[in-house]
Amino acid sequence: MKILVFVKLVPDLVEELEIDESGKALDTTWLRMIINEFDDHALEQAMLLKDEHGAHVTVLSPDVADVDDVLYTAAAKGADQLVKIRGDLEGADNHTLAGAIAPFVQELAPDLVLTGVQANNDLDGALGPILSETLGMPYVGYVAGVALSEATVTARKEYPGGLAAEMDVALPAVLGIQAADQPPRYVAVSKVRMAMKSTDIEEREAAELDASAGAPIERMFQPEATERATMLEGDEDEVAEALIDLLRELGAM
Amino acid sequence: MSRAMSRASRLHRLEELLIGTSKGYTLRELAEKLDVHRTTAWRDLNELSREAPVQQEGHRYLIDRKDYISSIRLTSGEALMLYLALRRLLRQRSHLPPMMLMALEKLSLAMKDPSAAQLTDLLESLKSEMPSNPERARIWETLIQAWIERITLRVSYQEMGHSVVDEMKIQPFLFEPAVLSGGVYLVGRNPCHDALKILKVDHILRATLTTERFERPCNTTIDEMLRRYWAIWYGEELTEVRLRFSDPIVSRRVRRTVWLPSQKVIELPDGGIEWVVEVPDVFELVPWIRGWGPDCEIVSPPELQEQIEKAEYEFGGVTMTTTDVPRTRSFTDQFYASVQEITEGERIKTCLQCSSCSGICPLGFWMEYHPRMMITAIRAGMFDPVMESDSVWMCVSCFACTEVCPAKIPITEGLMTRTKEEMLLAGAVPRELQDALENSQRYGNPLGESARKRANWARGIEPAIPLMAKEKRAVDVLWFVGDYSSYHPRSQVSARAFAQLLRALDVDFGILGPEEVSDGDSQRLAGERGLFEILAEKNGKAFAKYQFNEIVTTDPHAYNAIKNEYPALGISYPVKHYTQFLAENLDTLEPLLTKSVNATITFHDPCYLGRVNGVYDEPRELLKAIPGVEFVEMTHNRENSLCCGGGGGGMWLDGFTWEKTQSRLSEWRVREAVHASGADIDVLRPLVPEKKRRRTAPEAEEAREVARILAVACPYEAPRFEDATKMVADAGQLLVMDVAELLVEAMAA
């Protein structure tokens, strides 16, 4: 069993986001990148499958700042092969990314491709479906739990409203992971340091990028701060009464 | 005659009616129900009032069920039997509940001579030999009312030998006497955790009624639930237990008592006996069997024998020997060797198994493997079970065990921290701790805040707090602010107070701001040594960039790290805790303390200032220099101080620890502070932070101006203890203030 996990780095929302002078992109001066939370779950799911069934896990990621730390951490958790794709991929949209990584996925020929179901910088749709389309593989998204058998995987797909479905998917396939069976594990810093010494990151050059497939960005906006909020004054009863009046007025009651 | 009979039965019916109602009946309603005229009903009511506690609420009459349930008629034989049952229960109780006494008195009245006279004598002797305890009686009354009326209770519960008092809600289902001990148990459900609880009534310290009602499950459901929990109930599958007592005196003693109703005694030719019972759960017998020591031999079942041996092993009994089977170098051996590699680590070999460590550990009684047992496990070559348990995560690295150990074993640094390191390498980390560690790694602080905002606490201070990167000059004091003083809103208040003090003393100082990262000490003690080293190196690089004479820090953990741990990594600077620094400058500071702070103040010794680094006097000197202060000590102080619960990763394991223990060390400490600072003192107006002040009525402004203050000197503590004051009864008026905040208060013009 060969599993490929695609992870990307996204802006860390601990820092305040600013828009650059062009008005079309984030200002990267103070921007820090962090592993997409859902990709971290995809990695964990791969580790759990490896723990249970044995697997060769490859982690693939675009070469952007701080990616080495993410890849070494994956190695410390148990990933077997680390690959970063070089090219002008910082800020690339998902259509461009899918096009850039598809040849490598085909070359590595995994049985299963896992990636996060979404990311905070998805402006042109999630990566998983685009990638699966490019690769001609089936795709199931919003997966929270994966079980393996010989030629299929059973994916537990979540729907809104607490519904879930179990789907058998023929391999090879792409799964968009919403949550792994367990929360991502902790890996001690000393283990990451060891991984840095004992693991190599393979570097591969991306083929020509096609930036035309995604959605063109006209302008970015900061969320508007307005002063429409009304503070209700008074004791509990007065506030409750005022709130009820307000809800009636708005037709909510 | 028939009229009198009908009157007696009418009174009986009236009594039933009044007990059965919660709203009460009017006279007219009663007359209708009894089918008599209102005047007759009125007479009956008066008659009944003489015997039963009839209450009148407006025009309605009723009998409160908590006062009185029903009248019963007994034959003398039945009364005697009841008397014997009560007497048996009384035999094993230290206090005589007045209710029991009253029940006995009523019984004696109901019984005819000669038993009555005998009973009266017994009653008199009982009254004289057993102290009555009104407080316990009140608890009993509350429990019974809740049980009858199906009201959820709030109880304070303290298990035998435990110092922590649990506060919990309980829905009482039933009372049951224990089989082999004298206790009475309350069986009920804890609605907060949906768990069945069995509480020994004698261990309930306080009981109050809540406003919540509950549905009592049917009896079979209760039996079903209990079967899984406890063996006082009759199970369907019974196991035969066969015990042999050979010693003739012991045999006689065993034979004489009916320990269990199902017991059979078989005489043996040698004068001994075999005692045979059938029980649903053999393990309930374990403590009883252990009580007989070597006089009791287990014939069957074999698993009981194992259980006893295991217990003996765990409790350091005679069967604790290491196996002779040659072993490969196991995990235990490697672990043992690694503990011995640390400074003084070899002392672990000299462990006396005295258990002082486990006894003084504030959470030791919750731990599946407390420190002494961990050493026992190592010696037995069986450390793996310790690794499978998560009890080491309760350790708050407070150094109490290390301090008390007569063999001077570095228990905290060696045993506990090494175990946490192994747990961490194995990936067995509680989720919330994992977040704190990942945050420390990524952002340089466990709170997950932006590194760029590390100096934001100082915004608005004029003149601006000097940032080393901007000053570009040598300063006298480099102030290492620390994580919580930088980011936690409550601890920021303390940081601003210290800034004011530095200004008042005209100290030439600077801070690192975004260049400072977590000192890493608590992460180290939580088992993340690698992370500690990275953080220390980052701080070391920042220190090296600038020129200063000494480091002063507001965080005892940073003080400990920079003083004791950084030098081994080649980062060596003179460092002081801020209380040391201020105490050194007390000559300059004292004349500025002009305003009287009319307060009773007690001081909590931070573990990493006091016990670990021996700094006890400086904070006390500072507090005593404040005019108007009456300084008092808490029960646990100085070397013996109690941890706030935040050390060694505890700061990031509150949820975990609560889940395991349902207790908080901070609340324990606040209870001590409330106790130490006196009970009848009002709020000190000017010292109440403005936010709190607004909530009190203006007339209270004139209240007596003496405060009760818990003074702290660690940024972990103000938030922890302030939260605890919200949970502890009578702590509402206890103020938690940093020493720096108090000094500023005394300085105000």
Give me the pLDDT at residue B13, please: 84
Between B305 and B657, the more confident residue is B657
CB proximity list for A131: less than 8 A, separation 6 or greater: A6, A98, A101, A102, A105, A113, A115, A139, A174
Contact B443 A14 (CB under 8 A): yes
Confidence of residue B546 (pLDDT cuts 50, 70, 90): very high
Give me the pLDDT at residue B85, please: 76
Give me the pLDDT at residue B184, please: 76
> Which stretch of A181-185, B166-170, B306-310 has the lowest confidence by average pLDDT?
B306-310
Q: Which residue of B has its CA nearest to A77?
A: B427
pLDDT at B259 over 90: no
Q: Name the residue facing B452 among A15, A183, A190 (closest C-beta).
A: A15
Give me the pLDDT at residue B180, please: 55
What share of chain B has pLDDT > 90, as a percent?
45
Chain A partners of B697 at a C-beta cutoff of 8 Å? none
| Mutation target among A33, A40, A41, A186 for the B interface, most CBs of B within 10 A | A186
Residues of A with CB under 8 A from a CB of B: 12, 14-16, 30, 34, 183, 185-193
Q: How far is A238 from chain B (nearest CA, A)?
A: 17
* CA A70/CA A73 separation, integer angstroms: 5
Contact A186 B438 (CB under 8 A): yes
Residues B249-274, buried b or exposed e (16+ Cβ, 10 A)? ebbeebeeeeebeebeeeeeeeebbb
Between B278 and B98, the more confident residue is B278
Q: Is the dihedral of CA B437, B442, B445, B449 positive or negative?
A: negative
CB atoms within 10 A of CB B303: 12
pLDDT per position as a tens digit, B36-73:
888 888 888 888 887 788 888 888 888 877 666 666 77
What share of chain A has pLDDT > 70, as a percent?
100
pLDDT at A65 over 70: yes
CB proximity list for B628: less than 8 A, separation 6 or greater: B596, B597, B598, B599
Q: Name the residue facing A189 among B449, B452, B534 (closest C-beta).
A: B534
pLDDT mean over A67-80:
96
pLDDT at B322 over 50: no
Give me the pLDDT at residue B231, please: 42
Give me the pLDDT at residue B232, please: 43
User: Which value, in Å, is the radius of gyration of the alpha carbons in chain B?
Assistant: 33
Chain B partners of A14 at a C-beta cutoff of 8 Å? 443, 448-450
Contact B534 A183 (CB under 8 A): no
Give me the pLDDT at residue B466, please: 96
Q: Residue A38: helix, strand or coil by DSSP?
A: helix
pLDDT per position as a tens digit, B9-27:
888 888 888 887 878 888 8
Q: Which residue of A has its CA nearest to B433?
A: A186
Q: Is the dihedral of CA B51, B55, B59, B62 positive or negative?
A: negative
pLDDT per position as a tens digit, B198-210:
787 888 888 988 8
Give me the pLDDT at residue B260, please: 66
Q: Name the residue facing A186 among B427, B452, B529 (closest C-beta).
A: B427
pLDDT at B674 over 70: yes
**B689 preceded by a cis bond (ω within 30 of 0):** no
Between B53 and A170, the more confident residue is A170
pLDDT per position as a tens digit, A8-25:
999 999 988 889 999 988
Give me the pLDDT at residue B680, please: 41
State whether residue B434 sits within 8 Å of chain A by CB.
yes
DSSP codes of every residue in B26-70: EHHHHHHHHTS-HHHHHHHHHHHHHHS-EEEETTEEEE-TTT---
Confidence of residue B620 (pLDDT cuts 50, 70, 90): very high
State whether residue B92 sits within 8 Å of chain A by CB.
no
Contact A14 B448 (CB under 8 A): yes
Q: Which residues does residue B166 pair with via DSSP β-bridges, in sequence order?
A: B157
pLDDT mean over B616-635:
94
Give me the pLDDT at residue B320, please: 33
Contact A188 B424 (CB under 8 A): yes
Contact A189 B531 (CB under 8 A): yes
State whether residue B624 sits within 8 Å of chain A by CB.
no
Chain B partners of A193 at a C-beta cutoff of 8 Å? 530
Give me the pLDDT at residue B38, please: 83
What share of chain A has pLDDT > 90, as a percent?
72
Contact B434 A186 (CB under 8 A): yes
Confidence of residue B375 (pLDDT cuts 50, 70, 90): very high
Contact B437 A15 (CB under 8 A): no
* CA B723/CA B727 separation, integer angstroms: 7
**Among B593, B583, B532, B582, which Cα is nearest to B557's?**
B532
pLDDT per position as a tens digit, B126-163:
666 666 677 877 888 888 888 888 889 999 888 765 67
Q: What is the pTM of this model?
A: 0.65
* CA A98/CA A101 separation, integer angstroms: 5
Interface of B with A in 506-545 (CB under 8 A): 528-531, 533-534
State whether residue B441 sits within 8 Å of chain A by CB.
yes
Contact A189 B530 (CB under 8 A): yes
> Which stretch of A46-55, A190-199, B20-29, B701-710 has the lowest confidence by average pLDDT?
B701-710
Q: What is the mean pLDDT of chain B?
A: 83
Q: Which residue of A has its CA nearest to B442?
A: A34
Between B637 and B112, the more confident residue is B637
pLDDT at B309 over 90: no
| Mutation target among B421, B434, B518, B524 for the A interface, most CBs of A within 10 A | B434
Give me the pLDDT at residue B639, please: 93
pLDDT mean over B679-688:
40
pLDDT mean over A101-128:
94
Q: How far is A126 from chain B (nearest CA, A)?
A: 26
> Which stretch of A180-194, B182-196, B264-278, B442-456 has the lowest confidence by average pLDDT?
B182-196
Q: Name the residue facing A190 among B427, B448, B529 (closest C-beta).
A: B529
Between B438 and B306, the more confident residue is B438
Q: Name the residue facing A30 among B452, B530, B534 (closest C-beta).
A: B452
Contact A188 B425 (CB under 8 A): yes
pLDDT mean over A117-129:
93
Give me the pLDDT at residue B318, please: 36
3-state secondary structure A172-214: CEEEEECCCCCCCCCCCHHHHHHHHHHCCEEEEECCCCCCCCC
pLDDT mean over A105-111:
94
CB proximity list for B511: less than 8 A, separation 6 or greater: B455, B458, B465, B466, B467, B468, B478, B479, B480, B481
Confidence of residue B382 (pLDDT cuts 50, 70, 90): confident
Give me the pLDDT at residue B2, please: 44
Greatest mean pLDDT among A151-155, B235-239, B379-383, B721-725: B721-725
Q: Is the dihedral of CA B515, B521, B526, B530 positive or negative?
A: positive
State whether residue B450 sits within 8 Å of chain A by CB.
yes
Q: How far is B148 from chain A (nearest CA, A)?
A: 35
pLDDT mean over B664-684:
74
pLDDT at B8 over 80: no
Give me the pLDDT at residue B225, please: 60
Chain A partners of B437 at a C-beta cutoff of 8 Å? 186
Chain A partners of B528 at a C-beta cutoff of 8 Å? 188-189
Contact B450 A14 (CB under 8 A): yes
Give me the pLDDT at residue B517, please: 97
pLDDT at B96 over 90: no
